[in-house]
Amino acid sequence: METLTKGQRLPLAHLVPDGVLELGVAAQGLALDVACFGLDAAGKLADERYMTFFNQPRTPCGGVEARPGGSGDLAAFALQLGRLPSGIDRLVVTASIDGGGVMSQLQAGHVRLQAGGRELARFAFAGSDFAQEKAVMLLELYRKDGGWRCMAVGQGFNGGLDALVRHFGGEVEPAAPAAAASAVMQAKINLEKRVEREAPQLVSLVKQAGVSLQKVGLSDHRAKVCLCLDISGSMGRLYKEGLVQRFAERILALGCKFDDDGEIDVFLFGKNVHHPAPMALSNCNTYVGQAIQRHPLEGDTRYGAAMQAIRAFYFPDARGGERTRPVAAELPVYVMFVTDGGTSDQATTEKQLRWASNEPIFWQFMGIGKGRKSKSKFLAAFADSDFPFLEKLDELGGRLVDNANYFSVGSPDEHSDAELYDLLMTEYPGWLKLARGHGLLK
């Protein structure tokens, strides 16, 4: 058995040529939660499913599996390195304090490598190695020259799990209590299983939405999602050909990353405004067709009326009326607003957008029209637009914060999934910072 010191590296090819081994973690004096993070080459959590711990005990590939510790170990991980996808470049074993205390209160601990019932190497640590840290990165396995190596780390983090996440290249929201954080993680895991079971066509969409959110530092962000659909008569072909249904599924997938209830709120508007039951995993396959059957296409288009109904639903105290002072909420609302034409209530719409700037609601407008180019700050600005009023809303004055973005497409399926989700995150992250700075988010 080899005794490892901090920073020491150990090639694994000659020790475990088949890449099958077990890691055991022991600690005395403190209650610790142990986890194994699968990171990409940039040191980021490549996929939420590759954080392995007691509530998510197995990676999708089966390359890492959490097991009860044996022979005095607190926890253990069974590794089959050959099963890990090429995108997983490193495995990092961490421990964080469950409850009060700091790492200096540890009496003793170790992380050890085993294979075939034989202990291969051990890295020992103790409270004297740390001070006020709440978490520690213990051991790292990483790819090097076509093989795997192990390094003893022993690096503590004063900020606990939040500091670990930041070290792995992520951004975190204000920390929640450990029990709440565990509940959120479990809810996400349960939702992923529900998507696979109830709406498998959304699996790749949810994954792609997650990639786009990770790019802008919103992997752990939570928000409510609302889809607002134009049901004026001119939208008929888009509904008939299933283009609106498929687009709605893409927004539901975004909702599955922003929240853990597996549903999004839906509003329909033409001459009137309708608020059907939410679009959920259980009813998403035929949702749009059934909604249009209950609420047939109408004449006229009224953005302002729809915006008023949405505001009244999420913030009933103002009833969709004038709001002159900021109001705060725990979660923001992301509204995907879809239309194929202008509105007959422009003045009302402008008032609604100004008043809504005092509420934690972000409005993403998308205009649909034949031959129209995408228009947004994410892409290039074009000289002409088929939606001049939506452009005006995008730059509307008299608002507390810029709470809207606009782009147009020739068809709802014009962009690939990756392009669409990137487009939907063009201005939202910036709005979040402004909203926090103006007291719209708690």
Q: What is the pLDDT of residues 228-240, one digit of tens each?
A: 999 999 999 999 9
Structure token pair of residue 359? 């509420």
pLDDT in tens, 36-92: 999 988 888 767 778 888 777 888 899 999 988 877 888 899 999 999 998 899 999
Residue 442 has pLDDT above 60, yes or no: yes
- Contacts with 367 (C-beta within 8 Å, 6 or more apart), sequence order: 339, 340, 386, 387, 390, 406, 407, 408, 409
Helices (H) and strands (E) in the chain, counts: 11, 19
Nearest CA to 191 out of 51, 285, 50, 56 is that of: 56
C-alpha R_g of the chain? 25
Band of residue 191 on the pLDDT scale cut at 50, 70, 90:
low
pLDDT in tens, 149-165: 999 999 888 766 666 76
